[in-house]
Amino acid sequence: MLIATNLSKKFVYKESKGLFKKKLIVKNAVNDVSLKIESGKIVGLIGVNGAGKTTTIKMLASLIKPTTGEILIDNLDIIKEHKKAKRIINLISGGERNIYWRLTAQENLEYFGALYGIPKDVLNQKIETILEMVGLTESKDIPVERYSKGMKQRLQIARGLINDPKYIFLDEPTLGLDINIAKELRSYIRKLADDENKGILLTTHYISEVEELCDYIYIISNGYIVAEGTPDELKEELSTKTQVVLTVEVLTEQAEVELKDILECKAEVTIEGENIHTIKVISKENFTAEIIRCLSSHNVSILNMKLMEPDLEEIVLNVLRRSE
Ligand SMILES: Nc1ncnc2c1ncn2[C@@H]1O[C@H](COP(=O)(O)OP(=O)(O)OP(=O)(O)O)[C@@H](O)[C@H]1O
Ligand SMILES: [Mg+2]
């Protein structure tokens, strides 16, 4: 288990003010962030541009030192022992950085493997397996500059796996990929967690990706974690509305009065139409069962019913709006 406790990062830098003046700027990019990543689980870190996601990931990946806080990976203090830590973690960023374009995939992986001090015969076997896994075996001897974006991204993943990390940090891994490759990559990320028991932290701006992949979510705003939970927990705790829309026949006045009575003060009810009525109920809780019971007891026939589930995107936006 990776446990980060009260992580903060303060950047201090000078900014030019006029020709000769320089102003000292202090930027608290991450404040008091605590999070956990279990093996075999995918954890999402989501927030708007500049919220502090990459800074957090860089601290976890031991690329920058936290101003305060502690990071333990399976009881290893990775701030004090970052050399040991680097053997069990790796960072994969979206975009096309971190690989050498003039080299082939094979050569890139040999180079990065050598940086980890992996013996040549072990490394060659490993490279073969990883290239197979990311589907680059056939193109392994082509210089990377001739690769498509998706192939380069797959090579990034391969590079991130070269040291067989226990924990992988993925910073916007599907950035700029077409829908097919992004889909393929998502299923691959899921496999890394399910089959290889990797603990994964993922940042992304695509909420559908979060819904599909994440077992647990942290929402970050201005460097602070403002909400956390499983997708279902967040939906349950933070959704502002559930919407039920029914199309019914023979809605008697009695049924209408009783329905409005039952839902009084709990939901917003609108009824439209003449012979066939449309009933719309918006509430925080789900009153579907009560609505059906009431209508059935008055022999109202329900022709159609739609339940609009709370939408994770809306929830995230609400949380962020509130935290502002
Ligand atoms: N090296 C640095 N020096 C000064 N400020 C920095 C540095 N790195 C990041 N920041 C600032 O810290 C804040 C958080 O940046 P960070 O890159 O972590 O955001 P992010 O959530 O990854 O955003 P994005 O979604 O755009 O990638 C921003 O205000 C950014 O300008
Ligand atoms: Mg970022």
Q: What is the 3-state secondary structure (H, E, C) of 235-255?
A: HHHHCCCEEEEEEEECCCHHH
Ligand 2 centroid from CA 279, angstroms = 44
Considering every ligand atom shown, identify the ligand nearest to the alpha carbon of residue 24 and give its number.
Answer: 1
- Looking at residue 32, what is its pLDDT? 97
- Looking at residue 258, what is its pLDDT? 95
Final residue of a structural domain among 190, 217, 237 = 237
On whether residue 167 sits in a domain, the answer given is: yes
Q: Is the pLDDT of residue 315 over 90?
A: no
50 and 73 share a domain?
yes
Q: Exposed, middle or buried, 261 (CB in 10 Å: 0-12/13-18/19+)? A: exposed
- Quickly state the pLDDT bin for 9 (edges 50, 70, 90): very high
Final residue of a structural domain among 237, 264, 288 = 237
In whole angstroms, what is the distance from residue 58 CA to residue 191 CA? 24
Closest-CA residue to 79 (of 167, 7, 171, 151):
7
257 and 153 share a domain?
no
Ligand 1 centroid from CA 54, angstroms = 7
- Looking at residue 49, what is its pLDDT? 93
- Looking at residue 317, what is its pLDDT? 87
In whole angstroms, what is the distance from residue 232 CA to residue 312 CA? 9
Give mean pLDDT, residues 200-223.
95
Which has the higher per-residue pLDDT, 149 or 155?
A: 155
32 and 155 share a domain?
yes
On whether residue 315 sits in a domain, the answer given is: no
- Looking at residue 318, what is its pLDDT? 84
Domain count, the chain: 2
Ligand 2 centroid from CA 107, angstroms = 28
Final residue of a structural domain among 173, 204, 237 = 237
The torsion angles phi and psi of 246, rounded to 5 degrees, stand at: -120, 145
Give mean pLDDT, residues 46-64.
95
Contact between residue 159 and residue 109 where contact means Cβ atoms under 8 Å apart? yes
On whether residue 320 sits in a domain, the answer given is: no
CA distances in angstroms from 230 to 197, 217, 223, 303, 321, listed in the order given: 19, 6, 20, 35, 20
- Looking at residue 82, what is its pLDDT? 85
On whether residue 318 sits in a domain, the answer given is: no
- Looking at residue 322, what is its pLDDT? 82
- Looking at residue 24, what is its pLDDT? 87
Ligand 1 pocket: which of 11, 91, 210 to mutate (most atoms within 8 A of CB): 11
Q: Tens digit of pLDDT for each residue in 66-125?
A: 999 999 999 899 999 888 888 899 999 876 677 898 999 999 999 999 998 889 999 999
3-state class of 12 per DSSP?
A: strand
- Which domain CATH number covers 249? 3.30.70.980
Nearest CA to ligand 1 atom 8: 55
222 and 175 share a domain?
yes
On whether residue 317 sits in a domain, the answer given is: no
Give mean pLDDT, residues 299-321.
87
63 and 115 share a domain?
yes
Residue matched to tokens 């990065």: 112
Check if 130 has its Cβ closer than 6 Å to any atom of ligand 1: no
Buried b (16+ CB within 10 A) or exposed e, 104-139: bbbbbbbebbeeeebeeeebeebbeebbebbebbeb
Ligand 2 centroid from CA 52, angstroms = 7
Mean of all residue pLDDT scores within the chain: 91
Q: Is the pLDDT of residue 19 over 70?
A: yes
202 and 286 share a domain?
no
pTM: predicted TM-score of the whole model, two decimal places? 0.83
For residue 32, what is the enclosing H or E element?
Answer: strand 21-37
153 and 29 share a domain?
yes
- Torsion angle (degrees, nearest 10) of CA 7, 158, 156, 167: -10
Q: Exposed, middle or buried, 234 (CB in 10 Å: 0-12/13-18/19+)? A: buried
38 and 115 share a domain?
yes
64 and 95 share a domain?
yes
262 and 114 share a domain?
no
Q: Exposed, middle or buried, 251 (CB in 10 Å: 0-12/13-18/19+)? A: buried
- Quickly state the pLDDT bin for 194 (edges 50, 70, 90): very high
Bridge partners of residue 28, in order along the sequence: 10
Which has the higher per-residue pLDDT, 134 or 91?
A: 91
Q: Is the pLDDT of residue 16 over 90?
A: no
192 and 256 share a domain?
no
Q: Is the pLDDT of residue 192 over 80?
A: yes
Q: Tens digit of pLDDT for each residue in 229-275?
A: 999 888 877 777 788 999 999 899 999 999 999 999 888 899 999 88
Alpha-carbon Rg for the chain in angstroms: 26
Q: Tens digit of pLDDT for each residue in 150-182?
A: 888 889 989 998 999 999 999 998 887 788 878
245 and 149 share a domain?
no
Domain coverage including residue 49: 2-237
What distance, in Å, lies between the first and last C-alpha atoms of the chain?
Answer: 31
Nearest CA to ligand 1 atom 4: 11
Closest-CA residue to 316 (of 228, 222, 202, 186):
228
On whether residue 314 sits in a domain, the answer given is: no
Residues around ligand 2, an ion, CB closer than 5 A: 53-54
